[in-house]
């Protein structure tokens, strides 16, 4: 499921998460959420989703090793 939900901020800065989304994500009263400010805007996420995202990003290949591998391959091609 994915979607876009329009919400309005209340007079005390409160946001209401639509019932359909709360049910889909298993959110209940008191569920911890994170608001993350990004260059693209604000992201509302659960701690678990944020943790999983960071873990996936950290599991990606080491950029330094990837660059060194590319340079070695290019050097090997130049020697042929």
The per-residue pLDDT string of the chain (80 residues; one tens digit each, 9 = 90 and over) reads 578 999 999 999 999 999 999 999 999 999 999 999 989 899 999 998 888 888 887 876 666 777 788 888 888 877 77
Query: Which of 13-46 are b and which e, b meaning 16 or more Cβ less than 10 Å from the residue's Cβ?
Result: eeeeeeeeeeeebeeeeeeeeeeeeeeeeeeeee
**Domain locations along the chain:** 19-79
Q: Phi, psi at residue 76, to the nearest 5°? A: -65, -40
CA 69 to centroid of chain Cα atoms = 28
The pTM is what? 0.59
Handedness of CA 47, 48, 50, 55 (dihedral sign): positive
């Amino acid at each position: 499921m994915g979607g876009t939900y329009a919400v309005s901020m209340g007079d005390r800065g409160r946001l209401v998460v639509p019932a359909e989304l709360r049910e889909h994500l298993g959110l209940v009263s008191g569920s911890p959420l994170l608001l993350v400010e990004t260059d693209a805007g604000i992201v509302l996420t659960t701690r678990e989703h944020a943790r999983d995202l960071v873990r996936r990003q950290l599991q990606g290949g080491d950029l330094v090793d990837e660059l060194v591998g590319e340079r070695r391959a290019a050097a090997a091609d130049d020697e042929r």
